[in-house]
A = this chain, B = another copy of it.
Amino acid sequence: MKVTLLAGGTGGAKLAHGFQRVLPPGDLTVIVNVADDAEPHGLLVCPDLDTIMYTLGGIADREQGWGVAGDTFAAVAQLTRYGAETWFRIGDADLATQVRRSHLMAGGASLTDATAALAAPLGVPTHLVPATNDRLRTHLMTDAGELDFQAYFVQRGQRDEVRAVRFEGAEAARPSPAALVALATAELAVIGPSNPIVSIGPILAVPGMREALLASPAPRIGVSGIVGGKALRGPADRMLTSLGHEPSALGVARLYEGLLDRFVIDEQDEALAPAIEALGMEVSVLPTVMRSDDDRASLARALLELGEGMLRG
């Protein structure tokens, strides 16, 4: 079953890993958020693409949630000596990724091409596809002023309340051709348990992406990244609240209204099912918290079964 997953960072990476474990090689495509990208030291860093690539390549630092397991930090120490801004800490092996990507792209490769050229040698059988090859950047309006995503997320440690969100470049961006193909040929389309505002939001903000998802022949299932009113990781719950949404699976479902056939919520949110169904989507209740590799595979398997049932139904 050809699966196309829309995903941002850690939650999306875990579910992608689950799908990769249970699907034949090549049957999974992940359309990845790129609006977190930044250019420290003049190098193009793609945190979500990298987190998913490292996770699928088996070299992710699972404790930290970003970077390469066992990485060293000699380069960032030296960059600090040179007076460079280094609050965006890049490990040495991770820096190699950024150097290589930037070099490939300076030579004319698209971000899609560069991503494939990085992922293949890591043995990643999954197609990793940026939502767009064009420049797209999340800016957050906060009480501390407008911040770009990494300034908000890393430099200031998510301490600012987010009052509004803007995706710079969204008007001119086009979906990557590979993303459009993946949606058009999918047998199951999944919106992963990623932050709906700043991970899934920018993917859907690319003009044409929402339409391509709706035009997909595949059943469309979403998975809530909010469980029991809390984000499993990151600031999604606080961000939903400060932006006027309900910090719950229901609040997430409302953001996907009209886009999904089915929404998957965690067992502890079962009581929200009727309200979500009233939005015009089916609801499935599953264990969605992925603590182990087996949890990842189990959730992926359950989603495949749901998708098969929807195709038959």
Label chain A's interface by main secondary structure.
helix
Measured as residues with beta carbon below 8 angstroms from the partner, the interface class of chain A is 20 to 34
- Select A97's contact among B72, B78, B107, beta carbons within 8 Å: B78
A residues 10-40 near B (Cβ < 8 Å) are none
Q: How many copies does the complex hold?
A: 2
A75 to chain B, nearest CB (A): 4
| Complexed CA–CA distance, A46 and B72 (Å) | 24
Residues of B within 8 Å of A102, CB to CB, are: 42
Which residues of chain A from 78 to 92 have a CB within 8 Å of any chain B CB? 78-79, 81-84, 91-92
User: Which chain B residues border A42 with CB–CB below 8 Å?
Assistant: 99, 102-103, 106-107
Q: Is A259 an interface residue (CB 8 A)?
A: no
Interface of A with B (CB < 8 Å)? 41-43, 68, 71-72, 74-79, 81-84, 91-97, 99-100, 102-103, 106-107, 117-118, 121-122
What are 8 of the A-B contact pairs (CB < 8 Å)? Answer: A41-B100, A42-B102, A43-B99, A72-B74, A78-B97, A82-B118, A84-B100, A99-B99
- Given contact pairs A42-B103, A82-B121, A99-B99, a sample of 13 additional A-B residue pairs in the complex whose CB atoms are under 8 Å apart: A41-B100, A42-B107, A74-B91, A74-B92, A74-B93, A74-B96, A75-B92, A78-B94, A81-B121, A82-B100, A84-B100, A92-B92, A92-B95
